[in-house]
Amino acid sequence: MATFSNLFQQISSLIKNQLFPPVVERSPEHQKLVDEQTKYLTLYHYPGCPYCVKVKKVIHQLSLKIELKDARNNQEAKNELINHGGKAQVPCLLIETPEGTSQWLYESNAINDLLKDRFTPTMAKN
């Protein structure tokens, strides 16, 4: 029979896993390679936007270091989003290349799909 303390620990664990799901762990060498790739990614977001939170959750789960730009409270970031991305919609992932090309990806599901496809470790995809 479960005691109140055990039951409380089980419920706390379930809540914690929902709020802060497990994070992908990589070897230092592999994480360095991933960090090198993510330096070309920038997420434009609004604080509290549920679609932005959805993307930031995946960024956290995949242990990605992606620059975040607050397009609501930072006028420069908002101008970049509108002038280069074409609209003020968030979330928006700016994908740049070392060669200088860029792509602006809107829609949380499309962004999450790209991040998962590109950065989920092979063993975790099964």
> Which two three-digit tokens encode residue 73?
């409270």
pLDDT of residue 69 exceeding 70: yes
**CA 99 to CA 52: how far, in whole Å?**
28
**CA 12 to CA 1: how far, in whole Å?**
18
**CA 73 to CA 105: how far, in whole Å?**
21
pTM of the model: 0.80
24: left (phi over 0), alpha (psi -120 to 50) or beta: beta
Domain membership flag for residue 12: no
Domain membership flag for residue 66: yes
Domain membership flag for residue 2: no
pLDDT for res 8: 64
Q: Which residue range forms the structural domain that includes residue 50? A: 27-125
- If you ran DSSP here, which 8-state letter would residue 122 be given? G
Yes or no: say if 28 and 67 are a contact pair by the CB < 8 Å rule: no
pLDDT of residue 17 exceeding 60: no
Domain membership flag for residue 15: no
pLDDT for res 126: 45
Q: How far is CA 66 from the centre of its chain?
A: 7
Q: What is the CATH number of the domain that holds 114?
A: 3.40.30.10
Q: How do residues 93-110 score in pLDDT, each as one tens digit?
A: 999 999 999 999 999 999
Q: How do residues 18-59 score in pLDDT, each as one tens digit?
A: 666 668 889 999 999 999 999 999 999 999 999 999 999 999
> Mean per-residue pLDDT for 113-123?
88
Q: How many domains does the chain have?
A: 1
Q: Return the bridge partners of 102, or none.
A: 96
Domain membership flag for residue 54: yes
